[in-house]
Structure 1
């Protein structure tokens, strides 16, 4: 096993284990609507990653390199979507008792897959990985190059599936302990908003 491939595996592990909007969304959906919805959300975010895998494999990511404005537009659009998610996940107050509770309507659960997919399609971390880092791990003399990009991208995708599925499962098992901490309901929207600000800064810089 080459040093370059080991370096690639380490980079994949670090990126997929680092908290981001996709992981946070999976955890939030699992806690609010159960493990099945959490797994749907995980499947959605990884389907979004698979889109980038295909772009990288067939060279379409070069469009973002050649047209930076297009990529910045995607970043800013993603930031607006994160703000929207922050609004949706902010705990609502029940009338009368003044206690803050999360919205548990069936609509968020119904669209867990599609929303998860949109999160990763607009996630700057994933886009930057496939634009900037992935090409550095593929040998310059690789032939056919598209196959290397596809295999490396699928490794990244599979790693993300394992991590996010684990998050969905473990978040559900810790549901009671976490829900006893009422402040935890405010963590997802605050982090969504913080990541959105970071995305705005990167997209407008």
Structure 2
């Protein structure tokens, strides 16, 4: 077992990861506000499963292989970059719906689509894999027992931290919808702001290098 004091440091690192603005947070806020808390929770489930995907990859050493092969990392990074640019286009395309606008027509994405997009938003972000690969080795030591068990232990903690914070985000975002519905000025501002953030994230991802 990993000592408690080291686990507390890992919890802090996991907290920094989840509160840092990124595709996951943007997607959760968008769906929670436009389609309600239920859709936000389904999206969150997809995001959490994306974390589980990365954890399994790291735990069994697959992520290390992926990042050690430049071509494989480049392909994953390219997919993530294109996906973020696609989301940016969706935010500003003609007749696009404001992500802060309450859905008054009852038109909701299907649970399957919400889950899938949430999952892909997380899986197609190589920075998540880099985080795991960078931080896990700092806390895993042979003298603490099975390396696989320690890796899974850290993964479970990270998922718990991520779920807890994102759950709060889902609840808060849904309540903020009323404010934005009553302030139409923010409709245009938010579209270009969110598109700019997504394009910045895409550029940052495109310029990132495997470590």
Which TM-score bucket, shorter chain as reference?
0.7 to 0.9
In the alignment, is the contact (CA less than 8 A) between 1:178 and 1:184 conserved in 2? Answer: no
Find the residue that maps to 1:111 and give its secondary structure.
helix
Residue in 1 that maps onto 2:92: 90
Unaligned runs of 5+ in 1: 94-99
Give per-residue Cα distances to partners, 1:129-168, cap 9 Å, x unaligned: 1121211111243321100000101110111111112111
Alignment of 1:55-70 (within 5 A): 55-70=57-72
CA distance in 2, matches of 1:55, 1:125: 14
The match for 2:190 is: 184
Of 121-130 and 56-65, more deviation after overlay is shown by 56-65
Do residues 28 (structure 1) and 30 (structure 2) align? yes
Deviation of 1:175 after TM superposition, in Å, equals: 0.6
TM-score normalized by the length of structure 2:
0.84
3-state SS of the aligned residue for 1:64? helix
Tell me the equivalent position of 2:130. 128
Residues 78-128 of structure 1: per-residue CA shift (max 9 Å, x gap): 0101111111222644xxxxxx74386534776111001001001133111
Q: Could you say if the C-alpha distance between residues 91 and 162 of structure 1 is closer, same or farther in structure 2, counting changes exceeding 3 Å?
A: farther
Deviation string 1:4-39 (CA, Å, 9 cap, x unpaired) is: 222211111111111111011000111111111111
- C-alpha separation in 2, matches of 1:107 and 1:173: 20
- CA-CA distance at 1:200 after TM superposition: 0.9
Residue 15 of structure 2: which of 10, 13, 16 is its match?
Answer: 13
Pair 1:102-2:103 in alignment: no
Query: Is contact 1:33–1:109 with CA below 8 Å preserved after alignment?
Result: no
Aligned residues: 199
Task: State the SS of the aligned residue for 2:62.
Answer: coil
Question: How far 1:71 sits from its partner (Å)?
Answer: 1.6
Task: For 2:120 and 2:97, locate their aligned partners in 1 and report how far apart those are by CA, in whole Å.
Answer: 25
